[in-house]
C-alpha cells in the first residue's frame, strides 16, 4: 500500500464518488472479465478528469478511499498512475502505445548537484545509448532536454498527464520535446536524485523496453539486469559529464512513477553516507565521534503512524543537532517496523531487517558507533522561516539542524 500525503479535507464531488465507486467495483470483481469492464470505465473517467485538469476531484477520491477502503485505494492509485503516464494515439493510420519513462541518476557531493538544460549533442548521445541498451527495437522517443531534480518534476497527476501527451505527440511526429519552462530552484543536498524524462512509443501491442522482447529470453530479472549493466557502463560517462564534482549511480530506467519511487528508496542510504563524509570533513572529526539520533515522525490525524524517520547528527558531549537526514517510508514499510525494532531489540528477538535496522547498518558501516533510538513518535514539524524539517536532539526536543558558524561559512549551507 502506498502512502497518501496529508492534505486538507476536500469536497467529495460526484466525480470523486464515481472514481471511488469504480475502484471499489474493481477491488470486489468476481472475474477478470468483470475487472476489465470496470477498469475500462475507470480509465475513461480518469482521462476526462486529467484532461480537464480536475486534480481536486482525483485527490478527494484518493483521500476518501485511503481512510475507508485501502484495497480500493490501491486500485485507484494504480489506475491514476497508469492513465496519467501512458496513452494510446493514432498516427499515419496506425495505433501506437506511449509510455512516460524516468531515468534516475543518484548523485552525491560536497558541492552542488547540477540540474537544468541539456545540450542537444549530449541529448543525442544519451538517446543513442537508450536505444542501444534500454528501449525495444523499432521504438520512437522524445526526450525532455533537461535534467530534473525531484522538486522540478510535475507536481500533480494532471501535469504528468499533460506532459506525457505532449511528449507522445512529439515522439510520433519526430519533433523535439519542448524545453520546460523556467524550472524552480532546487534545494542544496549532499545526496539527491536527478532525472531524465522521455516518452517511448511503439505500435500497439509491440514491446517498449528491451527486456520485453521475446529474444531477451524468459527471465525478466536477468534481462533487465543485463540491460542495467550495459546502461551503467556505456551511458555512465556521458551522464557523469552532466554532474561535475559528483559521484553518481545509474538506476534502471522505467515507468515514471515506479522509477521515481525506486530512486527515492535508493537515495536514502547514500544520503546517510554522504552526511557522515561531509560532517567528518567539515568538523575535522572521526565517524566514531559523531552521535546519531533516530526518531519517528507521524501524522496526528492517522494515530501518529510513523511516516518517516528523521536522523539527527551531532558530536559526542554536545546536544546540538548539526545536520539531519529524512528517511521516508514507502509501500509496505510500516509504522510498526520502527516501534517493533526497538522492543524486539530489547528482548533479543531476531526479526527481518526493518527500516531502522537498515539505517543502523549503513551508519555502522560508515564508522558511526554512537546511535540512539527514541521511542516517542513526533508530529512532522518544519521551520517556519525556511521550511526545513526539524529534528530530535538528545533531550527529545525538536530543533533546527544548524552547523557551527565557522563550519557553515567554510562549507556553505546544505539541507
What's the pLDDT score for residue 347?
Answer: 43
CA distance 192 to 112: 10
Say what the pLDDT of residue 334 is: 57
H or E, element range at 25: helix 14-27
pLDDT score at 346: 45
Q: Is 200 exposed, middle or buried (0-12, 13-18, 19+ CB in 10 A)?
A: buried
Q: d(Cα 87, Cα 116) in Å, to the nearest integer?
A: 27
The Cα–Cα gap between 82 and 133 comes to 24
Instruction: Measure the CA–CA gap between 292 and 344, rounded to whole angstroms.
Output: 20
pLDDT at 349: 45
Q: What is the pLDDT of residue 111?
A: 84
Strand 290-299 and strand 370-378: the pairing is parallel
- Scanning 194-250, the segments in alpha helix (DSSP H) are 220-242
User: DSSP string covering 123-138, please?
Assistant: HHHHHHHHHHHTBPTT
Beta-bridge partner residues of 141? 200
* Cell triple for 16: 470523486
The closest alpha carbon to 322, from 408, 246, 248, belongs to: 408
Q: What is the DSSP string of 53-73?
A: T-HHHHHHHHHHHHHH-HHHH
Q: Are strands 86-91 and 94-108 parallel, antiparallel or unpaired?
A: antiparallel
Q: Which of 352, 324, 305, 132 is nearest to 234 (CA)?
A: 132
How far apart (Å, rounded) are the C-alpha atoms in residues 145 and 185? 17
Please give the chain's pLDDT, 415 residues, in tens.
455 554 445 578 999 999 999 999 999 999 999 999 999 999 999 999 999 999 999 999 999 999 999 999 999 999 999 999 999 999 999 999 999 999 999 999 988 899 999 999 999 999 999 999 999 999 999 999 999 999 999 999 999 999 999 999 999 999 988 888 778 888 888 999 999 999 999 999 999 999 998 765 556 667 888 999 999 999 999 999 999 999 999 999 999 999 999 999 999 999 999 999 999 999 999 999 999 999 999 876 666 688 899 999 999 989 999 999 999 998 767 545 555 454 444 444 444 578 999 999 999 999 999 999 998 899 999 988 888 899 999 999 999 999 987 664 444 444 4
Amino acid at each position: 500500500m502506498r502512502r497518501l500525503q496529508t492534505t486538507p479535507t476536500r469536497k467529495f464531488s460526484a466525480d470523486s464518488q464515481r472514481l471511488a465507486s469504480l475502484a471499489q467495483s474493481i477491488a470486489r470483481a468476481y472475474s477478470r472479465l468483470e475487472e476489465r469492464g470496470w477498469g475500462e470505465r475507470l480509465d475513461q473517467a480518469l482521462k476526462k478528469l486529467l484532461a480537464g485538469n480536475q486534480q481536486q476531484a482525483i485527490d478527494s477520491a484518493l483521500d476518501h478511499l485511503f481512510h475507508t477502503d485501502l484495497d480500493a485505494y490501491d486500485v485507484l492509485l494504480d489506475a491514476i498512475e497508469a492513465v496519467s503516464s501512458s496513452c494510446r494515439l493514432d498516427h499515419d493510420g496506425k495505433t501506437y502505445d506511449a509510455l512516460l519513462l524516468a531515468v534516475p541518476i543518484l548523485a552525491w557531493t560536497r558541492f552542488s548537484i547540477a540540474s537544468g538544460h541539456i545540450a542537444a549533442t549530449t541529448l543525442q548521445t544519451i538517446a543513442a545509448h537508450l536505444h542501444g541498451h534500454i528501449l525495444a527495437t523499432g521504438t520512437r522517443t522524445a526526450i525532455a532536454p533537461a535534467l530534473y531534480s525531484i522538486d522540478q518534476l510535475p507536481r500533480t497527476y494532471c501535469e504528468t498527464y499533460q506532459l506525457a501527451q505532449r511528449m507522445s505527440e512529439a515522439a510520433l511526429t519526430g519533433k523535439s520535446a519542448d524545453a520546460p519552462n523556467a524550472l524552480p530552484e532546487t534545494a542544496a543536498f549532499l545526496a539527491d536524485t536527478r532525472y531524465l524524462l522521455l516518452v517511448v512509443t511503439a505500435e500497439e501491442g509491440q514491446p517498449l523496453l528491451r527486456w520485453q522482447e521475446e529474444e531477451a529470453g524468459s527471465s525478466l530479472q536477468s534481462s533487465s539486469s543485463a540491460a542495467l549493466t550495459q546502461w551503467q557502463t556505456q551511458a555512465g560517462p556521458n551522464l557523469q559529464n552532466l554532474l561535475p564534482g559528483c559521484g553518481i549511480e545509474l538506476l534502471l530506467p522505467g515507468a515514471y512513477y515506479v522509477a521515481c519511487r525506486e530512486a527515492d528508496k535508493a537515495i536514502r542510504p547514500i544520503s546517510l553516507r554522504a552526511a557522515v563524509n561531509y560532517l567528518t570533513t567539515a568538523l575535522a572529526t572521526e565517524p566514531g565521534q559523531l552521535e546519531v539520533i533516530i526518531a519517528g515522525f507521524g501524522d496526528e490525524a492517522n494515530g501518529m503512524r510513523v511516516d518517516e524517520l528523521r536522523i539527527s547528527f551531532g558530536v559526542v558531549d554536545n546536544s546540538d543537532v548539526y545536520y539531519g537526514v529524512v528517511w521516508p517510508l514507502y509501500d509496505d514499510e510500516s509504522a510498526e517496523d520502527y516501534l517493533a525494532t526497538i522492543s524486539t531489540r530489547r528482548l533479543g528477538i531476531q526479526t527481518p531487517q526493518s527500516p531502522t535496522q537498515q539505517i543502523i547498518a549503513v551508519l555502522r558501516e560508515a564508522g558511526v558507533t554512537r546511535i540512539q533510538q527514541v521511542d516517542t513518535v513526533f508530529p512532522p514539524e518544519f521551520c517556519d522561516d525556511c521550511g526545513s524539517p526539524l529534528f530530535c536532539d538528545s533531550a527529545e526536543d525538536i530543533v533546527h539542524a544548524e552547523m557551527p558558524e565557522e563550519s557553515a561559512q567554510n562549507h556553505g549551507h546544505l539541507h
